[in-house]
A and B are shown apart, each in its own frame.
Chain A
Amino acid sequence: MAHVPLFSLLIAVPLLGVALIALLPRRAEQLAKPIALGAALVVFSGTVAMWFGWRTDGPRFQYPESYTWIPQFGSAFTLGADGIAAVMVALVGVLVPIVVLASWHDAEPGKHSVRAFFALVLVLESFMLGVFAATDVLVFYVFFEVMLVPMYFLISSYGGPRRQYAAVKFFLYSLVGGLLMLASVIGLYAISSNQLGKGTFSFEALLSLHIDPVTQRWLFLGFFIAFAIKAPLIPFHTWLPDASAQAPIGVSVLLVGALDKVGTYGMLRYCLPLFGSAAYDFAPWIIGLSVAGILYGAILAVGQSDMKRLVAYTSIAHFGFIALGVFAFTAQAGTGAVLYMVNHGLSVGALFLVVGFLISRRNSSLISDFGGMARLMPWIAGVFLIAGLSALSLPGTNSFASEFLILIGAFGAHKAATIVATVGIIFAALFVLWLYQQTMHGPLIPELAVTDSPARLAVRDITRREVAVISPLIGLILLLGVYPQPVIDVINPAVDRTLADLHISSGR
């Protein structure tokens, strides 16, 4: 297993797909879709192979690779995954084929370039895999920033009416965070060249640094703000509803489901082990922010009139849970947080996709354009309910295990915060059931009540392609809801190692 350059292959395969798409003649541009799907499926099978080759008792970073990159800066193109990164890579591997299939008709010829859309999705996949698989801080930073580019074009070229505004907002927010992070990355390099004699960006080498607490705080903030914008935590969140409401559905899934996870992933993987003392200093504040975000996102979700914005605000609440788990500094909460990242990717993905099904039937994402739909589309209603129940963390769906782990892990150290966060589950039920009642329950809205009206004829139940899109997610939601332990077994050792590093670098 050690001899297969797995992650390089995973990063290269989508780019290979992009090259193929670029070679397509214009009249064969529809071929871009199967090529993209094929590349995404190859990556998916690669992640499956990684999953079954994973050794839970193995070394910290598995499938390691290293290539000379910029030796002058002490930076090498090193890849590898600990348990935290592995599940995120798997999440990306699962989500992208689904998104490709879900976006099959989203970039129709005449309106936009089909080739560019699917090529951008593949580029995005490649960069996301890179950001999770990087074990060199500079490589991580480069992928972190360059990820913005395909996402920017996906939103600004294929989005809704206010796509330019949303795309620029997304780009600027992320860029501000990225620049702060760059400053901290350079700071780390400078400290490493002082302490180790030779500057390096290698994550494992940087773990051995002894940084004084004051410097730690500044470096921590640089990383943390970048991640807090990405995740996003309040008050850095307002780009997310705009971006995910304007982006096409598949892109929203990737944005909220996978790309934003880089934020919480980074907090756990980089902020905690590198700047332990600062993490302890700031933890109370960040936990306060997370808990506030849980309630704030949930209450605002109920106040939305647009389904996509509603789902985006629910995600802000869920990111609050994840951040709470990361900064509770216990094995349960940390493991729960990572599990929550995976679960949220699946459940918010399913939720966005179902919302997309609804939008495609009514050409509107306003909640007021729906009502009583369960009568016309019972299967979609059922799928919607399962996705929604996962969003409200009902036991038996995936999110429950993670939310439970976070809360039970955080309770010991942060009682008041955990109690408030637990109250948040009431609000979670409120926004899910409110949305479900408004769209699916009740009498049909007048426009649809007339049989044979054009609006009514446009409303049909789930199609075969949609079944193929949604059923893997629903299956995973239920499977991980009943039997999450195998995933926990992958995550837990990595979280334990991370927390051990945290304690070493905090000196407590």
Chain B
Amino acid sequence: MSSILDVLWLLIALPLGSAVVLLLAGRRADRWGHYLGCATVAASFVLGVLAFLALQARTDRSVEETLFRFLGVGSLKVDIGLLYDPLSAVFVLLITGVGLLIHVYSIGYMAHDSARRRFFAYLNLFVAAMLLLVLANNFVVVYIGWEGVGLASYLLIAFWYYKPAAASAAKKAFLMNRVGDVGLALAIFLMFANLGTTSYSGVFAGVGNLSSVTATTVGILLLLGACGKSGQFPLQAWLPDAMEGPTPVSALIHAATMVTAGVYLIVRASPIFNASPTAQLMVCIVGAVTLLIGCIIGCAKDDIKRVLAYSTMSQIGYMFLAAGLGGPAYALAILHLLTHGFFKAGLFLGAGSVMHGMKDQTDIRRFGGLARVMPATAITFGLGYLAIIGLPPLSGFFSKDPIIQHAFDRPGWSGWAFGGAALLGAGLTAFYMTRLMVLTFFGRRRWAAASGGQLPEPKESPWVMTAPMGALAVGSVAAGFLLSNADALSNWLAPVVGAPVESVAHKLEPLTVTWSVLGAVMLGVVIAAAMFARGTARSEPVTANPIVLAARRNLYADVINEAVFVRLGAWAMRVLVFVDSRGVDGTINGLAAVCGGTSARLRRLQTGFVRSYSLTMLVGVVAVILAFSLAVFR
């Protein structure tokens, strides 16, 4: 009898098959397409749960399954192979679970879109690619899934392709992801060149034989890949723009799952990072810098989805920081990833619900007082809000607080720097999230004035949307406690990232850290509440504060990208086009012109007069005779 663990490929095949059916069936599938989409993800979820239970029953907690040989040339052997271990199991549950909720939500959210079937096809494609990514047993298959989710992300951001902003954002996302992909690809090449294999087991077994320079290089290249996918500094600029896609996409791909693939990669490759303290330090720096960037810009944004996007960036910064700290903090990174998956997806769905009610308005300055008209949204959003700012006993507290604790534990100056950054980030998170909450759900009803009374009263979204929001809110409340109680997650992940250390000597007392975090959070909440309780101006207040100005312009990331890459690229392109048409092709055409011109002149010798021909002949004969004579009589 075959166990569920023998047919893991079904997990991927179901949503993939659904995507293919939906894309090929065309308009015929419009009526039932979304049900098929949801059903296959639900089936994958059920299979995921069954597989999880089956894995729990096993002692070795790791199942490998080779499907077929993908590439085999000489010593290079790449199989399409799956690895189901505690880490993949957790991700499978997150992807299919949160994915299922968001699929259900999309039925309602996209109900009025004529291309809903296509939307579900892309969502299914994404789920399949993401599952392939986390179930891979070697780095090449990871890469396949890695680019696959990039494609799904591209398709979904550009779902409303007729909006130029959406089309540009999709292209930007794909390109910046590709920069990261180059890092991942080079890391794979380096692994093969040094270890002769790309499989997890082979690479991790051989890490000890790598020189420290190679290990560091591989680590940094993997980090580059992770930065691209997870919207981390310096490749962060695409993530906020990706909000041009439909809101369920932002919730599923650009908050809960795909953007956390970078964290997954670093945790998965933990043996490599463990071998290179420098690479770990780089991961920490990237995490700390990004979490601050995200917070600072988040404070200055007025678009509800962009605030959440910068918040996502910042929270993933926490995960990177944790992953960079290594050791017991790997499990914390995954813990924060899971709790973040719940509360951020819930927040995005809430934002989508608000937009649904407000006729796609996203500017929080035009919201206000929505708690009264959209109670279910307000409650679920509120729970997500409390979770993200880290209020005990909601889930964000259980995941964020220990990360800050461990950041301080790092020896030397870096401990203070990372801990301080994380602490500051916690306060800023509280500030901008409170601002978002207050401006959206409390205070005056600015939308009534904004529309001049033309807008009908916003209505609460249908149950098909609020039910998933409720489920995610439950997760936001309870997941943190359940997963961290008695180190449940750490113990579960122990086969992958190492067992949790029994007694850790903390540099700072845990209670001290907890209280300072709570103090920072409270400070942020109070300041924001005081500033925005009475609403805000309809337009951006004029200010000369350089930090605010910089934050409004995304800390000049787009300006720098524009100046360095776009301008320089366009200039190089024009130069090369000129060189190609005038230089390279010009040389050839010039050569042709010289030949043509010369022959045009030489042609004139052909006068048509017989006498001139005979003179030429005579001259020729005389010349030949002279030449012979010279040769003979010299």
Contact = CB atoms under 8 A, between A and B. Distances in A.
Interface of A: 169, 172, 234-235, 237-238, 296, 299-300, 302-304, 330-332, 335-336, 372, 374-375, 382, 389, 394-396, 400-401, 404-405, 407-409, 411-412, 418-419, 422-423, 425-426, 429-430, 433-434, 437, 440-444, 483-485, 488, 492, 496
B518 to A, nearest CB: 44
Contacts of A234: 584
Contact of B185 (A336, A425, A483): A425
Given A299-B573, A425-B185, A442-B162, A395 B144 contact: yes
Interface string B565-579: 000010011101100
B433 interface: no
Nearest to B176: A426
B164 A485 contact: no
B572 A299 contact: yes
A441 B162 contact: yes
B168 interface: yes
B73 A422 contact: no
Given A395-B148, A433-B175, A238 B588 contact: yes
Given A418-B189, A442-B164, A332 B76 contact: yes
15 contacts: A299-B569, A299-B573, A300-B577, A331-B74, A332-B74, A335-B73, A395-B143, A400-B147, A411-B186, A412-B192, A426-B178, A433-B170, A441-B162, A485-B71, A485-B72
The 9 closest A-B pairs by CB, nearest first: A441-B167, A395-B144, A411-B189, A238-B585, A331-B74, A303-B577, A441-B161, A303-B573, A433-B171
A contact face: mostly helix, strand, loop, or mixed: helix
Contacts of B147: 394-396, 400
Contacts of B23: 382
A395 B23 CA distance: 19
B185 A374 contact: no
Interface string B43-85: 0000000000000000000000000111111101000000000
Given A332-B73, A442-B161, A488-B71, A426 B580 contact: no
Nearest to A442: B164
B178 A425 contact: yes
Contacts of A411: 186, 189-190, 192-193
B329 interface: no
Nearest to B177: A429
A10 B87 CA distance: 55
Contact of A426 (B148, B163, B175, B592): B175
A409 B193 CA distance: 9
A430 B158 CA distance: 15
B179 interface: yes
B573 A434 contact: no
A303 B576 contact: yes
**Residue among A296, A299, A401, A412 having the largest count of chain B Cβ atoms under 10 Å:** A299
Nearest to A429: B178
Given A332-B73, A492-B73, 9 more contacts: A299-B572, A303-B573, A382-B23, A396-B151, A408-B192, A411-B190, A422-B185, A483-B68, A485-B70
Contact of A422 (B69, B182, B574): B182
A335 B77 CA distance: 13
Contacts of A433: 154, 170-171, 174-175
Interface residues of B, number: 50
A8 to B, nearest CB: 32
Given A300-B576, A442-B167, A426 B182 contact: yes
Contacts of B175: 426, 429-430, 433
Contact of B167 (A394, A404, A437): A437
B140 interface: yes
Given A429-B174, A433-B174, A441-B158, A412 B193 contact: yes
Contacts of A483: 68, 70
Contact of A302 (B167, B573, B584): B573
A372 B162 CA distance: 6
B460 interface: no
Contacts of A444: 162
Nearest to B76: A332
A405 B73 contact: yes
Given A396-B144, A441-B162, A422 B76 contact: no
Interface string B363-374: 000000000000
B188 interface: yes
B133 to A, nearest CB: 11
B241 interface: no
A477 to B, nearest CB: 14
Contacts of A335: 73
Contacts of B580: 238, 296, 300
B167 A235 contact: no
A485 B80 CA distance: 11
Given A238-B580, A300-B573, A395-B147, A405 B71 contact: yes
